[in-house]
Amino acid sequence: MNEQDLRRDIAAVKDGWLSRRDFVQRMLAVGLTAPLAGMMLAHSGVAMAAQAFPYKPTKAGGGGPLRLLFWQAPTLLNPHFAIGLKDQEAARAFYEPLAGWDADGNLVPVLATEIPSVANGSLAADGTSVVWKLKQGVKWHDGQPFTADDVIFNWQYATNPETSAVTIGDYKDIKSIEKIDDHTVRLVFGRPTPLWFTPFVGGRGAIIPKHLFADYIGAKSREAPNNLTPVGTGAYLFVDFKPGDTLTAKLNPDYHVPNRPHFDTLEIKGGGDAVSAARAVLQTGEFDYAWNLQVEDEILVKLETGGTGVAEIVPTGNLEFILLNATDPNVEVDGERASLKTKHPLFSDPAVREAINLLIDRASIQKFIYGRGGIATANAVNNPERYRSKNTSFEFNIEKANQILEDAGWKKGASGVREKDGKPLRIVFQTSTNGPRQKNQAIIKQACQKAGIEMELKSVVGSVFFSSDVANPDTYTHFYCDMEMLMISMASPEPQAFMTQYVSWEAASKANKWQGRNISRWQSKAYDDLYNELTRELDPVKRAALYIKLNDTVCAGRYVLPELNRPRVSGIRKGLQTHSSGWDNDLWQLPSWYRES
């Protein structure tokens, strides 16, 4: 598309001959994301439209109980500490952001009155500042008013290094926040910022109340009582929470959106396993919704047949991948295992990393385990498609892996295990307890054995593995083993925040209470430099090229081994309307959920 065609299409939107949605689809076809396409319209004087979600109830309440099943049980309810999706989802039931992402990648107001744009005078054309107008009359669950002071406080809270917030990267580019009045704030960035829509938006942008957390900013952040007893602005009021078990809530009669919520009570039940969760919704109807159904597709199809629910599959950028530890998990330095001051004794040899990459049978794992729920990939960035690199490929080749190890001096001993310089190729491989993941582990272990790599498999209960408990050594962020497998969600159709999980300054460590997003501790100056260039680049075509370079750099390092692009798979009881989006939390439109009669 040339500049003349672009100007013609923008003019067509202004004149009403072309819909905003059709314009966005045309931009997607030539390599732009929906948010950046929307920004082009906004900069040209076309306001960003809010999504209207179908909602039939004519009053709040009357829907009875809503029962959700999270087989990985939530353990903490502060969104700034939610290192796992289960905690982020549970916190979203109570806390809300300024805006969220719909299924088409458009921003939708939540605590804001409108989406900023150049057209409405709230967005600087160069991305150096943005004005958010807050809804008036919104109250915290204890009756206190929601104001601009709460927004400013969340920025201060998250960016204080001693708070050790997992959200720190989303707010660090803000130079200052000006309080224009009680319901208007201006975010000023230190430089032109293409992603002005990252802070206070989506799954990581939920806002906590200043009046309850002000005394717990910094080093005392983990001592706040409300980390477990949320007081938010959402559609449900907190009743009770048993970490790792059950969370209950009731209808908020003062919710700021008319006629919502539909359900009188909310229960999030934790524990069990994914198959049992699927059965409880798809077959027996005991629950209304089951989160994150990491279940073999063959089982899902059987449960759906003649059952009470359906498996909803929503495209996402989520990545199931394997991480190789760049540090030594068995050596302690200054009271810290897997310290950045150490190097892994096996993986520091690139031949070992390359061999393991060749021993992952991605195609079979997709075909025989995940089916609709996983697409084999060699890329860290898989969606939107225009950011997907065509420079990568995956291969399953045991013979080639053997040859690489042999050529690198790793010789098989009497036991069949390869060793070099007295170091045997013995690896501890961990993941969460879950049927597909254990089968995935077994497939990889079998291939590794044929290449002379001895592998010990370890599984950790999901509620522990994805826990936000900094004292628990078995969380995936501590990474006290050699190799681990998990999924990371891409919470925005613009993957800049997603790619922070590979920058050096995000390495998880004791100093940041293992809240850093770089779990493998892989460090690359080349990657860091590319990422910093990305944060300064406003041109969407050049940004797309940078994403591909970032993807190729991290994948070439072989400490991060992409395996599957994971669509979001949920179990939904027939009749339940959820307005799902692959770019935000599953519960992002919880206030608008309702049940068809």
pLDDT digits (tens, 9 = 90+) for 123-134: 998 889 999 999
pLDDT of residue 538: 82
Q: Token match 């995936």: residue?
A: 476
Q: Which of 10-24, 88-102, 267-281 has the lowest mean pLDDT?
A: 10-24
Residue pLDDT, tens place only, 526-573: 999 999 999 888 888 999 999 999 999 999 999 999 999 999 999 999
Separation of alpha carbons 177 and 200, rounded Å:
12
Separation of alpha carbons 419 and 427, rounded Å:
12
Mean pLDDT, to the nearest integer, of 190-214? 94
Residue pLDDT, tens place only, 280-326: 999 999 999 999 998 999 999 999 999 999 999 999 999 999 999 99
| Strand, helix or coil for residue 20 | helix
Instruction: Kindly state the helix (H) or strand (E) to which residue 166 belongs, with its residue range.
Output: none
Question: Residue 384: pLDDT band by 50, 70, 90 thresholds?
Answer: confident
pLDDT of residue 41: 53
In the chain, DSSP finds a helix count (H) and a strand count (E) of 16, 25
Separation of alpha carbons 477 and 233, rounded Å:
30
CB-CB contact of 473 with 480 (8 Å): yes
Torsion angle (degrees, nearest 10) of CA 470, 474, 475, 477: 90
pLDDT of residue 8: 54
Q: What share of the chain is helix, strand, coil (3-state, %, to 5)?
A: 30, 20, 45
Residue pLDDT, tens place only, 129-165: 999 999 999 999 999 999 999 999 999 999 999 999 9
Mean pLDDT, to the nearest integer, of 495-504? 94
pLDDT of residue 195: 87
Burial of 190 (0-12, 13-18, 19+ CB in 10 A): exposed
Separation of alpha carbons 553 and 562, rounded Å:
13
CA 389 to chain centre: 20
pLDDT of residue 26: 54
pLDDT of residue 38: 54
Res. 582: pLDDT tops 60:
yes
Res. 486: pLDDT tops 60:
yes
What are the CA-CA distances from residue 333 to residues 84, 326, 328, 523 (Å)? Answer: 27, 15, 10, 18
Query: What domains are there in the chain, each with its CATH number?
Result: 3-43 (no CATH), 57-311+568-597 (3.40.190.10), 319-493+558-566 (3.10.105.10)
Taking residue 172's Cβ as centre, other Cβ atoms within 10 Å add up to 14
Separation of alpha carbons 83 and 174, rounded Å:
22
Count Cα neighbours of 215 within 13 Å in the Cβ-side half-sphere. Answer: 6
